Structure 1
Amino acid sequence: MASSFNKAHDFRIDNFNNIVNVNHSADPLSKLEARIAAGAIHDSAERCDAPKCHPETRVAVQANLYRWIVDGDGEVEQPKKIKWVTGPAGTGKTAVMGSLADRCAKNGVLGATFFFASWSASMGRRRKTAFVTTIAHQLAQHRKDLKSAISTAMDNNPGVLEKNLHVQMETLVLAPLREVVHQSEGPGLRGAIIVDGLDECEAEQYHDTSSTGPRATPTRTNAQDQSEILQVLQAASLDPHFPFRILIASRPERVFREFFDPEINPISFAQKLDLNVEHNADADITLFLEAQFDLIRRRFNFPSSWPSRGTIPTLVENASGQFIYAATVIRLFDTSHREAPKALLEAILNMEATRKATSNPLEQLDALYMRILESSPDPPLSVQWIHAIAVCSQYIVNAPAFNINMLLQTDPESNEAEHLLGTLHSLIRIPPHSDQTTAAYGFYHKSLLDFLKDPGRCGKLYAEHSERGVFIWDAFVR
């Protein structure tokens, strides 16, 4: 008997290199589930250590957003169903969205979530392909009548998974919602759809087939795919039967500034919340640092006078509203850094002495990154490893740390990875040695890679794109 792999139309390889059963007799929702990005959902295993708001911090902004989700904006005739939450790197957007998603889920007002991540080993979290299917699959768990309507839509439109996002949204989300709204006798649907990190969505790798060169040129840009998702969400929000509030969190990149600019996009459909402007983070960063230093003090049995008066205000000033700065400082104490805690804190504070008169909010974060990287015995080589880890994680799904180590180290018998990365645990998620054959490297925040790709910020540690390519190429051919 021929194997099922040989039966026409029973199986195929999807965009995530998975074998998917497409037999029309299969459960429609199972076919849908095979095409979702499970790691992008707020409570997925992949996001188990994702940033969340420290207790009692970001209370005002979370309350603002939750109140908007539940009560709206007070506009009866033309309610705004989309809110754009923005701010530069490090302002805590993902932490706020993660904590808000948990609160909404606990209170039964969470429709769906999608957390993009350009550093993720999961292709589904980096590209648009699984965006609508992941949203639809979560909505199908919301209520039985909606689940039935989405299942019927899948069964009646078996080719929808190969259509563009607009068709998928209409077929798998909007049409089933209209059906449920017209037929339902129960309470109305409501809640939030939360989309985080949309600026990290990368372009699908379509290629120009007319190209005669050795490599075809991608025909899409990141901004185009991000704009497509924005347009799909806008169309959904304008449907009178669409009952959900949509929260979109991203950095203020041009595609978002223009899309949410009412003078450029005249349809008044969204509100804007700038975390860097409308919510002063200093009080929350202070609370976070006080709680964390209290834990450190008890862990090392330090006296109550440590850290000295003025330490936390100085760190808060250095943070310039950047939660990532405060979090990175604390991780230094949590990762068995080679320096004693008191000496380490003194060294961090002494960076203030070299601070220039500038309004650049990233200056102290950059100085902190530089100091941590320079603690490596060979900083330039460590930076090359970081770039290579990022590339391997992007193109090799869930590449184990062990495999990357074997690829990059020059001596298979050496422990080069520990030698180069041993002091960088506050920047890189490094699996324990016992788990490295299965667990992957990761980055705590995309801002590290932003820093290393900007010569104006990382200075002497900058490696040209060609240098990074040669380093990886040499690793493959030696």
Structure 2
Amino acid sequence: MKPLVATLIHQLLPSIPDLKPIIIPRIESDPLIFTKSLKTQFEFLIFGPLRQLKRSFVHLNTLVFLFDGVDECDDKDDQAELIRIVADFVSSNSFPAIAFFASRSEAQITTAFRSPEVMNVTLRMPLDDHYLPDSDIRLFLNDSFQKIRTAHPFGHFLDDNWPAPAKVEEIVRKSSGQFIYASVVIKFCSMLDQHPEQQLKIVRGLRPRGALTPFAQLDALYRHIFSQVPDLEVTSLILVWSMLTYAHNSVENCAEFVGLQTSEVHVALFPLQSVVDCTSAGDIHFLHASLPDFLLDSERSQEYHINLSTWATRLSVMAYKFVMVNGDQYHIPLDMYLTEAEATPELRDLILTYDPDDVDYMVSPETSHYLDCVKRLDFGDGPGGAVYQQQLRAFVRFIRQEGHSFKHSIGDSDDIYSILGQIESEPTLMETDEETEED
């Protein structure tokens, strides 16, 4: 933020030469002016001279200030202060001026714009889906790929229809309405010493990237955002829960599951509001489809990496404990967590104590997938070992007891019919009582 006023002066003087005899003497009179507060610098070197100029000239063109990337300035307090300073000057009508601010919706930025003195003199334009950003991104991509085909040193090796429309749409989807992802892809594919087609394969994850870093700019941005998170452990837990809980991933459900207050979930995600939304519909929603890719790639995310198998195992343990206490009323997706989980002793013990009859289990199409996930886990006796056999037996018994169709719930394999035969051959409680009385 320090060079901001000096930069504005450098841009103002060529545009409005009449400011030079006003501003330069002021700088000479106070050589330390650029070390003073932002408000003092603006008032002494920009706003004051503009007002003085207006007194000398009746007819002046409207001055337009453009502030891009406000959220990227170092000091958060200075970011908010800049907005207030400029808004106050524009609202004073002491000089014909308009100001444009472009920024991610970081907490300090949105708070500054919501203050009454700023809100009354500003208009907000969120660049979301209502502005059809996908169409603009698609147009940008097609135009850029056309330039690569015609101007790149290796462009003559590319087909006329490269890349295929489906691949362009894949980039559009990953962009999530933001140009930064599409721009990074184009820059990477435009590298003059690399083949564009191979570069695109690296972007799509179809070819090892080696020493190349296709998303360096995007990754730096994500790492900067995550550096603002005070409690990375809690925030990571919430994020990975959202990744694996495809349905019912509301803030309320998350809070209930991880043992937090709803307000604590909002607080944990507050520093990430430019990339994660948890307000519009009550669900936790990644605003950028490329963010999970970043978090799951240790080379890209570095200290912010989410090890999916480790976290999925942790969520699986939490899920079993939660269901055993609360029952199946919340429809916890055990299968989604187990899909990525590791076979640990704690998880083994929990699965062995899990009985669908004890938790008022709701049989669904996911039941078969759940058993497949348990079957995949190797607890030392290979996939489909004792833990899986115990769970399969518990579910066969439960489904038979509830009168559900095996074919439509867990299938009709030989293993199931074998267990079913064993269960049906077991003596009932009444038969056991009668035998006892005869003895």
- The TM tier, using the shorter chain, reads 0.3 to 0.5
Higher helix share: 2
TM-score (norm 2): 0.46
Q: Determine which structure has more spread, i.e. the larger CA radius of gyration.
A: 2
Q: Which has the higher contact order (CA 8 A, sep 6+)?
A: 1
TM-score (norm 1): 0.43
Higher strand share: 1
